[in-house]
Structure 1
Amino acid sequence: MKILCISDTHGQHRHFTDQIQSIDADVLVHAGDITAEGSFLNLKDFLTWLKAFNHIPHKVFVGGNHDRILEVEASYLATLRDLLARYNIWYLHHESITIDGVNFYGSSYSPEFMNWHFMYRRGEPAQALWDMIPQNTDVLITHTPPFGILDEVIGWGGSIRTGGNVGCRDLLDRVNLLNPMLHVFGHIHNGYGCTSGKNVKTSYVNAALLNEQYRPVNKPILVEI
């Protein structure tokens, strides 16, 4: 299965239309921060944009800390779920879907930081949240990275963050236990890229397409599992 990974488009998704049109894939995955500050119009345009990629049979996405509309207006997508399913578009809010025998699990959450959305406290709340990921997960989609893997902030925001690894330790523990084939995330823009961690079975992709200055400089990442 070929999986095309993108994340953190922040309302600039149409900048990547030609690139995505030129890539053959079975599933398009977006790992959150779809909108610019939670705009309803961004979300509506994003769904229209996804629907147009007829050459990719399935599209799966989660929200992110900037996607206010998905958190406070959850009923909007609930009413669209059947319509989106006609186009094989799936919004995973801490839930699973099986596509061609491959089990995908998606979650919009990330560790608490400032006054954003889909956030949790580190420690016991984080462990309880990630313990919900099913044992049979093949492809894990989260907005946050796991700790120490493509999660390094380098002096972003001056006094707000001074650098270092900001991913989630409890998520890393869960991934190491489950050994999924692929873990796709974003959130930390300058962590963009691919790697394998201590668990060599799992490929990790930080698919953030905008850099820390919110410029659309990165490319969608194609992975085969």
Structure 2
Amino acid sequence: MYVAARPDEDLQPKKPGTTRFVCMSDTHSKIDFQFVIPDGDVFVHAGDLTRRSSIQEFKETIAWLGALPHRLKIVTGGNHDHILDERFGYIEEKQYVLSRMQQANITYLEHESYLLPPDLGGYKMFVSPYAPIHLGGAFMPRNLQPYWEKIPSDTQVLVTHTPPYGYQDRIIRGNRHVGCPHLRAKIDQIRPKVSIFGHIHESHGVAFSEHTLFVNASACNARYRANQPPIVFDL
């Protein structure tokens, strides 16, 4: 597996027969970046499309996503995206946002599986917006364990807003891990090839276990400055 944690500095050409994933998260309505977003086969956004969950933020973000050249664009929500969490009651607003996404050829997934086409490797993905309660927000139920139990055991590319505990999940304040231990247990059990997430801005980067690549693709840093480039990997 080829991984480029700093594609703005050194990005190798994609080898024939591989699928290139370009990963971002936590853009928080930013649409202008000082770095180049590399082309690829699958663009993944792991949540927090907006900062205040306004319709205008969604419109601008969807227009930006729709203009990207990637063949598939897969996104989910995050704790800032209250309109997308039906528990907050924004049903009509959510349907409007989803309609705009569909028109822009963006695939929105909310705690569900997605199978890539055969010519893109046929990889089985599972995409979820949920995260442990941390500063509050959308998609933050009190007990996440039942949610993660629904992740199929044959998932190869896992996309969640939250990190799993212990991987790219350390916050500056208190220098502690804040990822989800129940998600970590599920990953240890099913061993996906890749785990993509965001949420913890200051832990942007990659890590490896024996079986899994972990990607924190947060674009914004701890001060909400969108200066952290996408992370690219080829399967």
| TM-score for the superposition, normalised by structure 1 | 0.86
Question: Do structure 1's residue 5 and structure 2's residue 19 form an aligned pair?
Answer: no
Shift of 1:15: 1.7
Shift of 1:80: 6.2
Superposition map of 1:182-197 within 5 A: 182-197=194-209
Aligned residue in 2 for 1:38 = 53
Which sections of structure 2, spanning at least 5 residues, go unmatched?
A: 1-18
Correspondence for 1:177 among 176, 179, 189 = 189
Superposition map of 1:59-98 within 5 A: 59-71=73-85, 72=88, 73-78=90-95, 84-85=101-102, 87-98=104-115
Question: Do structure 1's residue 214 and structure 2's residue 198 form an aligned pair?
Answer: no
Name whichever structure is richer in helix by fraction. 1
Q: Which moved more, 1:77-86 or 1:96-105?
A: 77-86
Distance 1:147-1:29 versus aligned 2 partners, 3 A rule: same
Structure 1 segments of 4+ aligned residues over 3 angstroms from their partners: 74-88
| TM-score for the superposition, normalised by structure 2 | 0.83
Q: SS of 1:141's equivalent?
A: strand
Distance 1:33-1:86 versus aligned 2 partners, 3 A rule: closer
Aligned residue in 1 for 2:133 = 112
Query: Are the equivalent residues in 2 in contact too, given 1:57–1:88 (CA < 8 A)?
Result: no
Shift of 1:30: 0.5
- For 2:46 and 2:146, the matched residues in 1 are separated by 21
Distance 1:204-1:120 versus aligned 2 partners, 3 A rule: same
Higher RCO (CA-CA < 8 Å; seq separation 6+): 2
- RMSD value over aligned CA atoms? 1.9
